[in-house]
Structure 1
Amino acid sequence: MRDLPAGLPGHDLRAGLARFGITGPPVYAPVGFGDYHWTVYDRWFTSVSDLTAKPLAGLRQAMETAASLAEQLPFVVAPVRSDDGETVVLLNDRYALSVFPYVMGKAGSFGDPVHPGVSELLTALHRCEPPADTPVAPIDVPARAALTALLDEPGEWFSDQAREVFVAHTEILHAALTELDLLAGQLPDERVVTHGEPHAGNVIHSPQGLCLIDWDTVGLAPPERDHWLVGGYSAFYSLRRAVNDIADFTQKLRAPHEQSRDAELTLHYFTETLTNL
């Protein structure tokens, strides 16, 4: 994210870091697309989640799962615990903080080729014993009901340009949802622990080997939920990702927002994803 989060004063962030015993100055890191990140002394990497897009209960469940997985699998970069034992702490009524050890190394970017060794990490992950309370990855798109309602009545949008693009692609979206239902019925019954987003941007090449970061999408699902991103193929999960992204972008572009670089990128990805359905 290029822009700082609206509604998060610096003193709220510092107070949250203090709960982990961290008192150094946070330096903003404009990386990724979704959460907001700061580093502290190249020792800590922080992730601040917007709870309007990522419910607190689900975030806590995912972070607790990651912490448990790290006890079995050395490549899992899991959150550390606050002084009172939490993997996620509230900063205010909109934002929540997790803190991770800073991993020295080089990460890729989304769309880059994934290192062949990642397949070995995923094999180990899929074979591990699921921690207690591992979330179940949803098969359907979580925001599907709202998206379907908009197909019948687009309503008002803060971004008129985004609304025009959406309306021009309603038939294509209807067809995509129908196909998604058909493909969902063909999924295997097997459920294993999956990362959910093992693309190159979530892989760090460290001196100790490959590491997987960004575990907020961890969940029980068929193995192909991961494999299609590392050289495999899944008609269902590739289409689901596109529809899910459209639903997320729709929510952001309909709501009031500032004209910023992040808003421009959201509109770009929204248009590109719809066009490529």
Structure 2
Amino acid sequence: MKDRPADIDATALAAALGAWGIEPAVLTHAPVGFGDHHWIAADADGRRTFVTVADLAHKPHCGRDATEAWTGLSRAMDTAAILETALDEPVLVAPLRTGDGETLLRLTDRYAVSVFPYMEAPTGHFGQTLDPGARGKLVERLAQLHTTRAPLTTPPHDPSLPGRAAIGAALADPRSLRADAGPYAQRCQALLTANSASMGPMLERFDSATAQLMSDASTATTVVTHGEPHPGNVLDPGGRTLLVDWDTVALAPPERDLWLATAAPQDLSRYAELTGHHPDPELLAYYELRWALDDMAAALDTFGTRHPDTADTRQTWEGLVDAVTALVEKGRSTEREG
């Protein structure tokens, strides 16, 4: 996140790092990523670590509330740490363990801390189009991940969308978003009012596909998936190509990753060559649709309550516009195909 949270005490955060044997001389807020808050801790000798503070109140993919999210996020971090030792070569940047072997510690009832090695390498960014060589390396990394035995800690993937009900309610009555909630509330009302009818077919398609996927759960191919393998979660794309940001790791169909990491038929062919699994076009389309709806739900969660005008809310608004645009275009495409 770009905005520095006012309710996270830097002194308390620095003290918490003692569990990892870290005594930071300097703790610098890092305005990067989206969803979690980050700092760079440097000790007296200049050694650096990357510190992540997760907001458990806004981790619906990890759990319905802060208590459930703590459990889900703990399992995710443990899974990443186990995977790092199980893979034959570096594929990911995993959380470091405390002296007691933990990958996640509570900072407050709402926030939890994890610590990662600081890597001197460039990162990609969300929306970036990787060149064929870099995509090929990412496909290879995913093939390595997907063919690794799932740790027992791996969270199960729930295809149903936590914010699905909120999306339906907002489309049915855009005025349910209080106009006085903040600077983006009225914009949301206008955006949803103008596009609600066009998005209806995509919601129906999503609900139908989700029901089918859940009914096929016992026979479907499932692997350890990252969940968000876009360039923004790749360190040194095309070089070492290390996957970062593991809170979305889950046991799921491989298409959950592949729709986001592939852009040409040869990418999918290469994956099939490496794994023996031929990606299902319908599942690829399903997870692309689910992504747009998930972005929409996250934005509605932000704009449905009190919110300011900041770099983060501006980014959230842009994401909502992109998601609605994608859903409308897909709905029109579905109508033409029908």
Q: TM-score range by the shorter chain?
A: over 0.9
Match of 2:152 in 1: 132
Over 3 Å off, 4+ runs? none
- Residue number among 108, 112, 119 corresponding to 1:92 in the alignment: 108
Match of 2:2 in 1: 2
Match of 2:317 in 1: 267
With 53-62 and 81-90 compared, the bigger mean Cα shift is at: 81-90
Quote the Cα distance in structure 1 between the aligned partners of 2:147 and 2:74: 23
Judge conservation of contact 1:89–1:98 (CA < 8 Å) in 2: yes
Q: TM-score, normalised by structure 1?
A: 0.93
- The reply to whether residue 82 of structure 1 matches residue 82 of structure 2 is no
The 3 A distance-change label for structure 1 pair 257 and 16 is farther
Secondary structure at the residue paired with 1:39?
A: strand
Give the % identical residues: 40
Judge conservation of contact 1:27–1:39 (CA < 8 Å) in 2: yes
Match of 1:60 in 2: 74
- Residue number among 83, 103, 113 corresponding to 2:129 in the alignment: 113
The superposition leaves residues 161-218 of structure 1 with CA deviations (integer Å, 9 ceiling, x where unpaired) of 2222223322233322111133343688111111111111111128982211111111
Match of 2:207 in 1: 181
The answer for unaligned runs of 5 or more in structure 1 is none
Quote the Cα distance in structure 1 between the aligned partners of 2:140 and 2:84: 16
Quote the Cα distance in structure 2 between the aligned partners of 1:38 and 1:29: 5
- The reply to whether residue 17 of structure 1 matches residue 43 of structure 2 is no
Judge conservation of contact 2:91–2:141 (CA < 8 Å) in 1: yes
Quote the Cα distance in structure 2 between the aligned partners of 1:19 and 1:257: 34
Quote the Cα distance in structure 2 between the aligned partners of 1:91 and 1:208: 35
Judge conservation of contact 1:162–1:271 (CA < 8 Å) in 2: no
Judge conservation of contact 2:124–2:237 (CA < 8 Å) in 1: no
**CA shift at 1:43, angstroms?**
2.4
With 197-206 and 235-244 compared, the bigger mean Cα shift is at: 197-206
Secondary structure at the residue paired with 2:113?
A: strand
- The reply to whether residue 72 of structure 1 matches residue 77 of structure 2 is no
The 3 A distance-change label for structure 1 pair 142 and 207 is closer
Q: Which amino acid aligns with 1:276?
A: A
Quote the Cα distance in structure 1 between the aligned partners of 2:199 and 2:99: 47
* Structure having greater relative contact order (Cα 8 Å, sep ≥ 6): 1
Secondary structure at the residue paired with 1:247?
A: helix
**CA shift at 1:258, angstroms?**
2.2
Secondary structure at the residue paired with 2:54?
A: strand
Match of 1:212 in 2: 243
Larger CA Rg, structure 1 vs 2: 2
Match of 1:256 in 2: 306
Match of 2:62 in 1: none
The superposition leaves residues 55-109 of structure 1 with CA deviations (integer Å, 9 ceiling, x where unpaired) of 2221111101111111112312111112332211111122111100111211111
**CA shift at 1:53, angstroms?**
0.7
Match of 2:260 in 1: 229
- The reply to whether residue 51 of structure 1 matches residue 56 of structure 2 is yes
The answer to which structure has the higher helix fraction is 2
Quote the Cα distance in structure 1 between the aligned partners of 2:49 and 2:250: 25
Secondary structure at the residue paired with 2:151?
A: coil
The superposition leaves residues 91-150 of structure 1 with CA deviations (integer Å, 9 ceiling, x where unpaired) of 112211110011121111112234121111111111111001311112121221232233
Q: TM-score, normalised by structure 2?
A: 0.77
